[in-house]
Amino acid sequence: MQPIVSVKDVKFSYPAGVSALKGVSLQVGQGERVALLGPNGSGKSTLILLIAGLLMPTKGSVEVFGQSTASKDFQKFRSRIGVVFQDPDDQLFTPSVIEDIEYGPKNLKLPAEDVAARSAHVLEKMGIAHLRDRAPHRLSFGEKKKVSLATALVLKPELLILDEPTANLDLVSRRGLIDTLNELNEAGTTVIVSKHDVEAFPELADRVIVISHGCLLGE
Ligand code: ADP
Ligand code: MG
């Protein structure tokens, strides 16, 4: 079966000359739950941005759904991928929590009842119903993190990529996140999560990929 994600010998350097990835190859199959584990600075966020097609490799290739992220057709595949950035300030941009959560589903032109049902579900699961009408930029980091997770979960994407989703989450929201991810995974969503500690791994992933200094260390 064709993998959903295929990363081949990818090198990536930031403009300042920092070599963040030094030759990374990995494949992720349909319906897999994969965790990317590595210390701060090992290249997790860079790899996630490359898989999401938001950065382009300096060398090597990244294919998602069989399509190179460098191809000009890749934009069409964007709506099938949900990404949650490590920093929620990169994710949230509307005046209220509910507008941020409903932005994606409305953009996909889903029926209004469907948008309302989906947003109510993620608000409840992430324990943020009380934040519904609040301004995202005034929330605490942990609250923002939950809202940014909700903006991706609500899309029910085929591929969901989450950068350190459990950092700063309280136990209730962590439980809600794991339950929602498992719900989506059972419905066919492929999940990639990054983490810098091993806590909660068995519940989040079937396979762990270890990254260190821009290289994968094997599984
Ligand atoms: P992780 O997510 O595992 O903490 P990152 O992918 O954020 O790792 O970082 C990998 C390396 O790239 C680090 O050395 C980091 O300092 C560097 N880096 C990350 N983002 C940038 C950037 N925008 N400009 C320059 N260097 C960066
Ligand atoms: Mg990171």
pLDDT-flagged residues of the chain (< 50): none
Atom 22 (ligand 1): residue with closest C-alpha?
A: 14
> pTM (2 decimals)?
0.94
Q: Residue 46: CB within 6 Å of ligand 1?
A: yes
Amino acid 200: pLDDT = 63
Q: Which atom of ligand 1 is nearest to the CA of 46?
A: 6
Which 3 state secondary structure label does DSSP give 190? Answer: strand
Amino acid 40: pLDDT = 94
82-112 burial, b at 16+ Cβ within 10 Å, e below that, comes to: bbbbbebeebbeeebbbebbbbbbeeeebee
d(CA 137, CA 141): 9
Q: Which atom of ligand 1 is nearest to the CA of 18?
A: 26
Amino acid sitting at position 107: N
Show the tokens assigned to 191. 């999940």
Show the tokens assigned to 31. 């319906």
d(CA 219, CA 209): 5
Show the tokens assigned to 32. 């897999």
Amino acid 149: pLDDT = 95
Q: Residue 140: CB within 6 Å of ligand 1?
A: no
d(CA 94, CA 210): 35
